[in-house]
Chain A
Amino acid sequence: MLHLLSGDKPRSVVLTIILLVILISLAFAPFLFPGVRSLETAARICIFIVLVASYDLLLGYSGIVSFAHTMFFGLGAYGVALSSIHMGRGYDALIVGTVLGAIAAAALAWLIALFSLRVRAIFFAMITLAVASAVAVLVSQLSGLTGGEDGLNYKIPRDLTPANRLGEFLGVKVNGKTLNYYLVFFGSAALFLLLLRVVNSPFGRVLQAIRENDFRAEAVGYRVVWYRTVATCLSAATAALAGSLFAIWLRYVGPDTTLSFEIMLDILLMVVIGGMGTMYGAILGATLFVLAQNYLQTLMGAASEATHSLPLVPHLLDPDRWLLWLGVLFVLSVYFFPTGIVGRLRNGR
């Protein structure tokens, strides 16, 4: 097990328990939480764990701020969509789209890194912001190819759709959607473990050294720009792979679901809340955030009803104010967990 985690133990009993609960919940989600909405939430958590972990490789381990992560995520998603449309329904289309999406993301990341990582980090952040905005506009404008603002609907192999009925297991109807979920789950798990391996490798140690002090790393003999460029490409390719999983799961891609700046901000928040430079923070951050996004409104509706006899409180807990409370929750979590939840659990401070 430790080998699977690349020797990177959670280093906290509470954290270990939380991670195990999340792992078991996600692994058995179709049976523990049957229903379309809960399965949708579980799949989204799996995909966002990979997306956030790949961003953590960049921000937490390499100290590079990028605003183009959703662009790479979108490249993977659009890769699957376009290949499925042009090659027709089939696994070959999924594979080709996934591989081409990841290659395109890595190539674009390499180009951006080459032009901007030699100078100050803030310049890289600005370039990524500009390129991501340009790509979002292009996707919106090239409606003939990308479907514009409406996005693209496409077909995936029938085995992975609800039409493929496989009977019942533990009282739950198993169909192609369940298989699709497990494709997402195992794909995400493999990508997360791969990222964990990367950050715990000698390459990952050099990245951490560079993050701490790039001159010192250079004085030891490491070419900072080369390491940062490789980290950027790896992070982009992984984000694209997460995007491909998302596209296979949703059977739809559009600018709002994959390319929006709102998702970029969500990723940033998930990394910070979970704990930068920890990888496990991605699991906690993504789980908490996606759960809050999906269930806070429902929870507030119930709380508002339960407190209807009190003055003011039901108004404060009105489901329409869920975004306000989400904001308050995040301000509080950043205040109380400045090193993220994982940092707090590991250090006890």
Chain B
Amino acid sequence: MYTYPGIETEETQDIILPAAPHIQIKDLNVHIEGKHILKNINLDIPNNSVTSIIGPSGCGKTTLLKTLNRLMDDSKNVAVSGSVLVNGEDIYAKDAEVTHIRKKMGLLSQRPFPLPMSIFDNIAYGPRIHGERNKKVLAEIVETQLKNVGLWDEVKDRLDSSATGLSIGQQQRLCLARGLAVQPEIILGDESTSALDPISTQTIENLLIELKKDYTIVLVTHILRQARRVSDYILFVYNGEIVEFGKTEDVLLYPKNEITQQYVKGFIS
């Protein structure tokens, strides 16, 4: 069942509870190959805002992000306990249906990975999978989403050419549009600008700030300046544990914890 702009279905109606946070993480523990990667994570991620996860490399921030849309399940030897509630629904419940969960969350990975098909098909891929066959509707979705990420004018004449011909910055925007086309509620970004040039980085950052009106955004980043520029909240993770969580300026300017202070000042990286 696919929904496109302007048409509401049962699926979208019964889940919006404005006050409650979109994502609630309760007692989350993740073991990978016997190693304790995430320890007792408890967290409410605020709605319609950008939350950045920061921390030294290897601290578990990417694992935390991938736990949110169950991409960790796909790797071997991963044990997850605890629960992640999205709109009150536990995505780690036994009867939870994975594709439906993942559809709610767009993922923007480190490097852009356009699917091996044309620009048009890249965007139409998601809607088609979820059952949309109408060509006119598909064309509409493609246009809307490409406009959303400011790519329409650049590619509208070559929608049928391969997506790999785009520049890397364009590719990343295409990937964002592709994610938006399945009507997610949440956008997850995994160091999404680390492969991009400064100008493309800025474009993506501005897009994310704009998108937070409609989406809940969670980013992993190792660039403090980027975290400061785009995020409303910051989560500092160290050794698999949450050390500090709060408003951006609170965490970055007046960190309460000593480790956070050292990280923010650049003593730990």
- The judgment on whether A and B are partners is no
Name B's A-contacting residues (CB within 8 A).
none
Name A's B-contacting residues (CB within 8 A).
none
